[in-house]
């Protein structure tokens, strides 16, 4: 009996250690970041490619560069309220270090060591280079500080247990940065990087499994709108086969579709960001999207 109890205790301890190892928040140390001179112009491109203003702009005001947060994002798990990411040192991220920012973007971990919910698309942002992330951070710090913190998320139990997000990350956060395909042109690789990294297009244009992870076999094939209204369209050649690269680039630049209509709903907000990108990036993203094989 004593041996059995000892074995059970040891198994329990091993399980606790394994649970801690899997669920612990991970971070990037300042020493892992080499010397870097920020490029604000590139930071601006990354900012708009990343759609930061789309979620973190303070509602009911015209200046989209006021990143006070608070826009309600409904989902099957509850409602998320993006936080203040303005340079305000008290209520925003003005007191953050570069390592804090990079950690948040690629590890989904807050400066105080908490897991962020994956409504913040760090599963895509992890593909970005550290240089691009540091440029983005430098650009955000040039924007006006906004005081005030937003309310906490309103998430249903058990999805509101942040510790469980460590297990979710173990399944869906692989930690791999974008790797260019040497067999593809430079333009295609640029588009692949923008679409899969800062653009996080798959986060909306893909169906998800019961745990909220993207169904990889149907990436970019569309799915239910997480806010419960309609669907997010398929952007593989299954649906966009008649679109040329020029057509796709025009949608990203102006929101105008080949038939002369305009995109609406959440895509209109996306275009407000992508329209700020250079034409070369519209063309690069279009080249990549046009190359996506058809997926039903």
Could you report the per-residue pLDDT of 60-78, keeping only the tens digit for each?
877 888 998 888 888 888 8
- Assigned domain for 147 exists: yes
Q: Using pLDDT thresholds of 50, 70 and 90, give the confidence band for residue 229.
A: confident
Q: Output the pLDDT for position 71.
A: 84
- Distance from C-alpha of 208 to C-alpha of 215, rounded to nearest angstrom: 5
- Region 198-214 average pLDDT: 93
Is the pLDDT confidence value at 32 over 70?
yes
- Assigned domain for 226 exists: yes
Q: Using pLDDT thresholds of 50, 70 and 90, give the confidence band for residue 228.
A: low
Instruction: Quote the mean pLDDT of the chain.
Output: 90
Q: Using pLDDT thresholds of 50, 70 and 90, give the confidence band for residue 48.
A: very high
- Assigned domain for 68 exists: yes
- Assigned domain for 8 exists: no
Q: Using pLDDT thresholds of 50, 70 and 90, give the confidence band for residue 20.
A: low
- Cβ proximity of 91 and 171 under 8 Å: no
Same domain? 151 vs 189: no
- Helix or strand run (H / E) with residue 266: helix 265-274
Same domain? 41 vs 104: yes
Same domain? 36 vs 173: yes
Q: Of residues 3 and 211, which shows the higher confidence score?
A: 211
- Residue 206 three-state SS: coil
Domain coverage including residue 247: 179-296
Q: Output the pLDDT for position 149.
A: 84
- Cβ proximity of 111 and 127 under 8 Å: no
Same domain? 150 vs 45: yes
- Assigned domain for 27 exists: no
- Assigned domain for 154 exists: yes
Q: Output the pLDDT for position 213.
A: 92
Q: How many Å is the Cα radius of gyration of the chain? A: 20
Domain end position, chosen among 177, 202, 229: 177
The gap from C-alpha 279 to its chain's centroid, in whole angstroms, comes to 23
Determine which of 158-167, 192-201, 275-284 has the lowest per-residue pLDDT on average.
Answer: 158-167
Same domain? 222 vs 149: no
- Assigned domain for 79 exists: yes
Same domain? 170 vs 192: no
Domain end position, chosen among 177, 195, 229: 177
Is the pLDDT confidence value at 14 over 70?
no
Same domain? 199 vs 68: no
Q: Output the pLDDT for position 144.
A: 94
Q: Using pLDDT thresholds of 50, 70 and 90, give the confidence band for residue 96.
A: very high
Q: Using pLDDT thresholds of 50, 70 and 90, give the confidence band for residue 10.
A: low
Domain end position, chosen among 134, 158, 177: 177
Q: What percent of the chain has pLDDT over 70?
A: 93
- Distance from C-alpha of 54 to C-alpha of 73, rounded to nearest angstrom: 11
Counting the structural domains of the chain, the total is 2
Paired with 223 in beta bridges are: 232
Q: Output the pLDDT for position 177.
A: 94
- Assigned domain for 274 exists: yes
Determine which of 117-126, 147-156, 191-200, 283-292 has the lowest per-residue pLDDT on average.
Answer: 147-156
Model pLDDT for residues 237-252, shown as the tens digit of each residue: 999 999 999 999 999 9
Is the pLDDT confidence value at 230 over 90?
no
Model pLDDT for residues 136-177, shown as the tens digit of each residue: 999 999 999 998 887 889 888 888 888 888 989 999 999 999
Same domain? 109 vs 169: yes
Q: In sequence order, what are the residues at sequence separation of 6 or more whose Cβ sits closer than 8 angstroms to the Cβ of residue 268?
A: 255, 262
- Cβ proximity of 216 and 174 under 8 Å: no
Is the pLDDT confidence value at 19 over 90?
no
Query: How far apart, in Å, are the Cα atoms of 276 and each of 47, 74, 79, 188, 253?
Result: 10, 26, 29, 20, 8
- Cβ proximity of 36 and 134 under 8 Å: yes
Q: What is the CATH number of the domain that holds 263?
A: 1.10.760
Same domain? 159 vs 206: no
Is the pLDDT confidence value at 13 over 70?
no
Is the pLDDT confidence value at 15 over 70?
no
């Amino acid at each position: 009996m004593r041996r059995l109890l000892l074995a059970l205790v040891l198994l329990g301890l091993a399980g606790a250690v394994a649970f801690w190892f899997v669920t612990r928040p991970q971070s990037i140390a300042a020493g892992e970041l080499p010397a870097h001179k920020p490029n604000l112009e590139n930071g601006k491109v990354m900012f708009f490619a990343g759609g930061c203003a789309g979620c973190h702009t303070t509602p009911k005001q015209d200046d989209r560069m006021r990143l006070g947060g608070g826009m309600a994002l409904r989902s099957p798990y509850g409602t998320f309220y993006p936080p203040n990411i303005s340079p305000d040192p008290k209520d925003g991220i003005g007191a953050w270090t570069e390592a804090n920012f990079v950690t948040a973007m690629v590890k989904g971990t807050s400066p105080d060591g908490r897991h962020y919910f994956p409504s913040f698309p760090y599963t895509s942002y992890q593909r970005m280079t550290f240089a691009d992330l540091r440029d983005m951070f430098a650009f955000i710090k040039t924007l006006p500080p906004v005081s005030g913190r937003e309310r906490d998320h309103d998430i249903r139990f058990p999805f509101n247990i942040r510790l469980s997000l460590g297990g979710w990350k173990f399944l869906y956060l692989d930690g791999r940065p974008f790797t260019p395909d040497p067999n593809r042109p430079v333009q295609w690789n640029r588009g692949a990087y923008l679409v899969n990294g800062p653009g996080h297009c798959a986060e909306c244009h893909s169906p998800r499994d019961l745990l909220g992870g993207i169904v990889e076999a149907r990436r970019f094939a569309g799915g239910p709108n997480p806010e419960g209204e309609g669907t997010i369209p398929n952007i593989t050649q299954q649906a966009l086969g008649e679109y040329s690269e020029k057509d796709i680039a025009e949608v990203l630049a102006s929101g105008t579709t080949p038939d002369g209509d305009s995109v609406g709903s959440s895509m209109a907000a996306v275009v407000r960001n992508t329209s700020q990108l250079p034409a070369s990036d519209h063309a690069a993203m279009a080249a990549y999207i046009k190359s996506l094989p058809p997926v039903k």
